[in-house]
Amino acid sequence: MELAVVGAGYVGLVTSVCLSEIGHHVTCIELDKSKVDKLKKGISPIYEPGLTELMMKNVNLGRLSFTTNYLEGFKNKDVIYIAVGTPENEDGSANLSYVDDVAKIIAKNVKRDAIVVTKSTVPVGTNNRIQTIINNHKPSYISIEVVSNPEFLREGSAIYDSFHGDRIVIGANSEKAAKLIEEINKPFNIPIYITGIRSAEMIKYASNAFLATKISFINEIANICERVDADVEQVAYGMGLDHRIGSHFLNAGIGYGGSCFPKDTKALIQIAGNVAYDFELLQGVVNVNKKQQRILLDKLYDRFGNLKGKKIALLGLAFKPNTDDMREAPSISISSELVKAGAIVYAYDPIAIDNAKQILDSSIHFVYNIEQAIGGADAALILTEWDEIKNMDFNLINTMKYPLLIDGRNCIKLKDIKPYQIEYHSIGRSSVKNIKSNNSEVVCQVGESK
């Protein structure tokens, strides 16, 4: 089928590539000429494992192309996907200006009947709003129907999720339109659930909000575990054995970040507020997440008191591994507080340094390996669980001024730390203090690990 996708950001590019991979002919429309020029050369603007290879495969097969021209992009297209950004407004609501603009452009430039599919994450009622905008600007002889088809992609595994997802949700007011979008997606071999258009919009927000709630819940449990000498990993494992709860998203740490959970939880609170409903539970989830990002700072203050002049190494800057996305990454607030406290901050990330330089304080020293980051450091903080960081050579701890490692992702097993002369703290687990005392004897304190 002939398809167009408006937007070559994270959602738009992944959608374009994966739709072309299952056999459709896709034109991805992006107004940023420099981005399109790079895409035509096989350079992806985002880091996503497997994306570049799949993109070039389908470009070479003639199933995927990129353009800045709407008329060219819409020509002979049966279906047009909207995949532009919906950034957060100051009040937490979604900014729909890009979506509105695309709706007007589609209405004024499409020359045949078509279906418009909204991939962008939008509040309940937005697809009806898009339909109204299109109806107000399109020629009377053209029929355009709007369908909601939210994405459920995890950054870092978006290609895998596209072909192995749990479900594809299609929300429509027209059975004919829903069936056509169902046919487009059948080659993915993923269960398809057809709903009303507003229910599809709500499913996206409700899903992300629920996962964010699980994360904040286990983080609160972790904070209690530290105070009652319990191990949050053992607690989470025991909880997860109950099939009603499940084990996913029960990993304690310094909270969620990225482009979805922070924005979508706030947007859902705003959606509830718009209908005079106080979503107290979700507001609590947001507050817990903000507090959780300070946990590592509190551990530093407990250890040193004053951080002025202390060299602090940050290991990992992206909000999660296998992505260069810095949106709402805990490293932003943590590094900012460290700089304000007078600490000397050295930062390392395998992929996200270029993006981090545009966001983090200019006084931060960005380095290109773990050795440079922790050499001579008073403490090191693990903020992203990259494999390289999880599997680091702990002998490097000997190069630190003081062997203090604080793990914000619980990504290192306590038993792996025990043989080394180190002071190690994590979230909701026992600390390891295996350091030489003044009489040169080794003092070892470690709790049980799963």
Q: Tell me which residues are annotated as active site.
A: 260
Is 154 annotated among the ligand-binding residues?
yes
Is position 50 annotated in a ligand binding site?
no
Is 250 marked within a binding site? Answer: yes
249 is in an annotated binding site: yes
- Assess contact for 247 and 235: CB atoms under 8 A: no
Determine whether the annotation assigns residue 198 to a binding site. Answer: no
Q: Is 126 annotated as a binding residue?
A: no
Check whether 121 is labelled as a binding-site residue: yes
Tell me: is residue 366 an annotated ligand-binding position. Answer: no
Q: Taking Cα atoms as reference points, which of 25, 131, 17 lies closest to residue 76? A: 25
d(CA 154, CA 176): 30
The reply to whether 252 sits in an annotated binding site is yes
Task: Please check if 63 is assigned to a binding site.
Answer: no
Q: Is 67 annotated as a binding residue?
A: no
Looking at the DSSP bridge assignments, the partners of residue 83 are none
CA-to-CA distance for 189 and 163, rounded, in angstroms? 8
Q: What is the β-pairing status of strands 2-6 and 192-195?
A: unpaired
Q: Is residue 309 part of an annotated ligand binding site? A: no
Question: Which residue in 237, 184, 222, 232 sits closest to 4, CA to CA?
Answer: 184
Determine whether the annotation assigns residue 109 to a binding site.
no
| Feature table: binding site for substrate | 152-155, 204, 249-253, 257, 320
| Feature table: binding site | 35, 86, 121, 152-155, 204, 249-253, 257, 263, 320, 327
| Feature table: binding site for NAD(+) | 35, 86, 121, 155, 263, 327
